[in-house]
A and B are shown apart, each in its own frame.
Chain A
Amino acid sequence: MAIKKVQRKFGFWERTYIPEVLKGLRLTARHLFRNLFIHMAHQFGLAKHLRGGETYQYPDERRPLFARLRTLHRLTRREDGSPRCVACMMCETVCPADCIYIVGGEHPNPQIEKYPVRFDIDLGLCVFCGYCVEACPEDAIRMDTGILEFSSYSREGMIYDLEKLLSYSRRQETGDRSQESGVRRQETGVRSHREVLNVKPET
């Protein structure tokens, strides 16, 4: 690999630091006064469409979720309400964290043949790689609940069983959330890292 060394030449004023420090101060001061102005305006109920910071005030305000974000797992159901899962253990096999525990059983219907007697996911171990969703031949496991808040006071509480996983449904918000947040960023005039790096958002 060829390495090109670029020696930057500093002029006199750059070497005194003073103009450069002032430039820096100008930049930070600009942000300060802009945000200060917006916050003050908000206090009087004005300019509500502008945001004075990048921060999401978490419990009050949630980040928009991107359409393909991997969130809490759920198990899908057949039309008759029974789990689609046939306990083939593909997800269990592919799981890099070994956090899926399946025990198969004999289904009374020989056309279905096999079903999960036990299907536990230890979310305390899960790394949310989504391989289980990729591996599933029956579209029985998905990570589209949009649920990001799950916690427990014990390790056992982090183990979600068949019934619990079946009880979730696909998240309600539809539409392309990525577009929405892009609009917000344009309005605020604050550039996202994508814009700074000149990367086109995935469509």
Chain B
Amino acid sequence: MDYLIDLTKALFIFNVVMGFMFILTWMERKQSALMQDRIGANRADIFGLRLLGLFHPIADAIKMLTKEDFIPPSGNRLLHTLAPMMALFFALISFAVIPFGGIYQLGEYTISLQLLDINVGILYVFATMSMGIYGFVLAGWSSGNNYSLLGGLRASSQMISYEITMGATIIGLLMIYGTLSLQEMNQAQGELLWGWIPQWGIILQPLGFVLFATAVMAETKRVPFDIPEGESEIIGYFVEYSGMKFGMFYSTDFVETVLAAALIATLFFGGWQVPFLYSDMQLDHLGKEGPPGFHFPGDTVISLSEVSVMALQVGAFLVKVFFFLFIMMLIRWTLPRFRWDQLMRLGWTIMLPLSIANILVTGLLILWIES
């Protein structure tokens, strides 16, 4: 039974992520078009039905699957094939530790809506993201093309630069919540500050949020941080890719965007938390009495069944992820690309010192409050 539950959860996560990715390819075109007073993709139709271009991702998939898979003669056949798989694989498995819902008591089963609750949770995410770089570097190197090699190098140095900031930013949160497990962190964000403000990451770590959001966007390698691609200059590590292997890099991009949005939501916006909405387990955790449902400050209680609380919370998580996807898309189509030196200066001389200062201030505040 446990296996069945785990399988269901895995399928759910996979489908949601792929679904988001699918919609993102459409959204990227349509949203950018609307922002720029254009129409956007609207030609693909099934039996004359166009649905605002929603069929374009399907057409894309068909196109990519039927296109020639070309491996450059000067390239390394094995690594060239392996690289996109690695990139996509590591991007996908990161989702294993993202909690998309809390812990619920359904009949005799206690279900935690997270595939894998490991005590190093957030570190696991960082580890998989770092592994993903191998995909890009290998793609760059194995293509036997100087431009793609340059793209791969840029990708790795950019990732390394911004991973440090990302790691340093997270420390603030770890100090506050005292845990690495993302599920526990989310649980903690349900607590209330001064009795009425939900204790979300954004409230406790506003600077941390700005830094983390910037760094995680840099990790996705999308505009304004798309220096590894740089369509107008080097095209990037996937310049020698075609067909579905290019499609995998393309999807990796979007999967990473979904991951970034999910991470921001989980760490700073309470993940699946809906303010004042608690399940049975959570009430126990907080040491509160009463039925599952809304517990507003001032002892107003709207009781709901455990299942509807679960549905609301999962829904809240998805809405939050979608919201951040939208914001990231907005940023991607608003800002121009950084120059290489600007990117490095931003990473090393502004964001890294700021994130370290953030740790110090957080530490001092914690000390001050505890004393």
Contact residues of A with B, CB < 8 Å?
18, 21, 24-25, 27-29, 31-32, 35-36, 39, 43, 52-55, 57, 190
Most buried by A among B34, B39, B335: B34
Contact residues of B with A, CB < 8 Å?
31, 33-39, 52, 210, 330-331, 333-335
Task: Please give the distance in Å from B206's CB to the nearest CB on chain A.
Answer: 11
Taking A28-B35, A32-B35, A53-B39 as known contacts, 4 extra A-B pairs with beta carbons closer than 8 A to each other, sorted by chain A number, are: A21-B335, A31-B37, A32-B34, A53-B38
Task: Please give the distance in Å from A20's CB to the nearest CB on chain B.
Answer: 10
Residues of A within 8 A of B335 (CB): 21, 24
- Report if A31-B36 is in contact (Cβ < 8 Å); known contacts: A18-B210, A39-B52: yes
Determine whether the beta carbon of B334 is less than 8 Å from that of A28: yes
- Report if A29-B52 is in contact (Cβ < 8 Å); known contacts: A35-B34, A35-B37, A55-B38: no
Once the chains are docked, how many angstroms separate the CA of A39 from the CA of B37? 11
Once the chains are docked, how many angstroms separate the CA of A25 from the CA of B39? 20
Determine whether the beta carbon of A24 is less than 8 Å from that of B334: yes
Instruction: Please name the residue on chain A nearest to B329 by beta carbon.
Output: A32
Once the chains are docked, how many angstroms separate the CA of A43 from the CA of B39? 14
Residues of A within 8 A of B35 (CB): 28-29, 31-32, 35
Give the A-B contact count at a CB cut-off of 8 A.
46
- Report if A31-B34 is in contact (Cβ < 8 Å); known contacts: A21-B335, A25-B330: yes
Task: Please give the distance in Å from A15's CB to the nearest CB on chain B.
Answer: 10
Question: Can you list 23 A-B pairs with a CB-CB distance of less than 8 A?
Answer: A18-B210, A21-B335, A25-B331, A25-B334, A28-B330, A28-B333, A29-B35, A29-B330, A31-B34, A31-B36, A31-B37, A32-B31, A32-B34, A32-B35, A35-B34, A36-B34, A39-B52, A43-B52, A52-B37, A53-B33, A53-B34, A55-B39, A190-B37
Instruction: Please name the residue on chain A nearest to B51 by beta carbon.
Output: A43
Residues of A within 8 A of B39 (CB): 52-53, 55, 57
Determine whether the beta carbon of B330 is less than 8 Å from that of A32: yes
Residues of B within 8 A of A27 (CB): 334
Once the chains are docked, how many angstroms separate the CA of A32 from the CA of B33? 8
Once the chains are docked, how many angstroms separate the CA of A18 from the CA of B35? 20
Once the chains are docked, how many angstroms separate the CA of A36 from the CA of B38? 11
Task: Please give the distance in Å from B350's CB to the nearest CB on chain A.
Answer: 9
Determine whether the beta carbon of B38 is less than 8 Å from that of A54: yes
Residues of B within 8 A of A31 (CB): 34-37
Once the chains are docked, how many angstroms separate the CA of A18 from the CA of B350? 13
Once the chains are docked, how many angstroms separate the CA of A83 from the CA of B168? 83
Determine whether the beta carbon of B34 is less than 8 Å from that of A21: no
The 10 closest A-B pairs by CB, nearest first: A35-B34, A55-B39, A28-B35, A28-B334, A53-B39, A32-B35, A54-B37, A32-B34, A24-B334, A53-B38
Task: Please give the distance in Å from B290's CB to the nearest CB on chain A.
Answer: 40
Task: Please give the distance in Å from B279's CB to the nearest CB on chain A.
Answer: 35
Once the chains are docked, how many angstroms separate the CA of A124 from the CA of B305? 75
Determine whether the beta carbon of A21 is less than 8 Å from that of B37: no
Residues of B within 8 A of A52 (CB): 34, 37, 39
Residues of A within 8 A of B34 (CB): 31-32, 35-36, 39, 52-53
Once the chains are docked, how many angstroms separate the CA of A36 from the CA of B33? 10
Residues of B within 8 A of A21 (CB): 331, 334-335
Once the chains are docked, how many angstroms separate the CA of A127 from the CA of B74? 43
Once the chains are docked, how many angstroms separate the CA of A79 from the CA of B38? 48
Once the chains are docked, how many angstroms separate the CA of A18 from the CA of B206? 13
Residues of B within 8 A of A35 (CB): 34-35, 37
Task: Please give the distance in Å from A58's CB to the nearest CB on chain B.
Answer: 11
Once the chains are docked, how many angstroms separate the CA of A154 from the CA of B35? 41
Residues of A within 8 A of B334 (CB): 21, 24-25, 27-28
Residues of A within 8 A of B33 (CB): 53
Task: Please give the distance in Å from A91's CB to the nearest CB on chain B.
Answer: 40
Once the chains are docked, how many angstroms separate the CA of A54 from the CA of B330? 20
Once the chains are docked, how many angstroms separate the CA of A52 from the CA of B31? 12
Instruction: Please name the residue on chain B nearest to A43 by beta carbon.
Output: B52
Once the chains are docked, how many angstroms separate the CA of A10 from the CA of B39? 37
